[in-house]
Amino acid sequence: MTFVQLIECRTSRVDEMNRLMDDWLQQTRGKRTATHALVGTDRSDTSHVVEVVEFPSYEEAVRNSNLPETDRIFREMVALCDEMPRFTDLDVVRDERLAEGVVRGFFDALCTAGELPPLNDLLDEDIHSHDPMNPQDTIGLDSVRAEFRMWRGAFDFAFTVEDVLAQGDRACARWTWNATHRGDFLGIAPTGRQAAMTGMTLFRFAANGKIAEMWWQHDQLGLMQQLGALDELEQ
């Protein structure tokens, strides 16, 4: 179970606290078990500093605390504080990774049977899509939906999302695409062939939480080869 430690203190020496954190990161490289650390100051009281540190489990947090470097940095941190820091130990019982949910929902929507969903709950009205198969970027929700309809008209397909990594306003998905060629695709008549691609898509999110920009990377040459489009060139 993921474990989070909340550390609160009062100090006017935030810059020194940051330098102390930099020292700890440098000295514990390859040894620390913390996976994420976040430091913030209270907007209504800038001397109130809160640090949130995430660990894979409570046991890993204990291992991290037992590092000699952690003990030394803690003593130096106490010296910078106006009072003794307060610790709150939290077992995470719910972890909503909102960007990941939007990304997975997007790929699910692309594979929906029947009419393509409106997608306006997932994509920003001014969405920009960058695809190496297109000479120009596709801009605007209507244009992006038209591009998706082209793919859906040419193939019966499904995405398998292998991984999603999210940070800040970006998320990246690694996926596998499996399809049957059922309709015209870039001038290639339906072949009935099975095709597969692997690829990655980078997403940028707008302030409203919707996808504002997408960068696609996929094996387009391999796809054309599987459809037989390169057979004459190879002879």
Q: Are residues 59 and 115 in the same domain?
A: no
pLDDT one-digit tens code per residue, 124-167: 999 999 998 888 999 999 999 999 999 999 999 999 999 999 98
User: Same structural domain for residues 45 and 119?
Assistant: no
Domain count, the chain: 2
Q: Domain containing 230: what range?
A: 98-234
Alpha-carbon distance values, 144 to 2, 66, 112, 172, 227 (Å): 38, 53, 16, 19, 24
Task: Let me know whether 146 and 205 are in one domain.
Answer: yes
Cα 99-101-103 angle, rounded to 5 deg: 70
Do 209 and 124 belong together in one domain? yes
Domain termination site, one of 91, 123, 143: 91
CATH value at residue 130: 3.10.450.50
Q: What is the pLDDT of residues 6-48, one digit of tens each?
A: 999 999 888 888 888 888 888 888 888 888 888 899 999 989 9
Last residue of a domain, one of 40, 59, 91: 91
In this predicted structure, what is the pLDDT of residue 234? 52
Q: Report how far apart, in Å, the C-alpha atoms of 37 and of each of 43, 86, 149, 162, 222 are.
A: 19, 16, 42, 26, 41
Domain final residue, candidates 91, 119, 141: 91
Q: Which of 92, 71, 69, 75 is nearest to 5 (CA)?
A: 92
Q: What pLDDT is stored for residue 18 in this prediction?
A: 86
Please name which of 51, 71, 40, 41 lies closest in space to residue 4, comparing C-alpha atoms.
51
Same domain for 18 and 73: yes
Q: Assess whether 209 and 170 both reside in one domain.
A: yes
Same-domain check for residues 217 and 125: yes
- 64 with 102, same domain: the answer is no
C-alpha neighbours within 13 Å on the C-beta side of residue 130: 10
| Domain shared by 140 and 71, yes or no | no
Burial tier of 103 (Cβ tally within 10 Å: 0-12, 13-18, 19+): buried
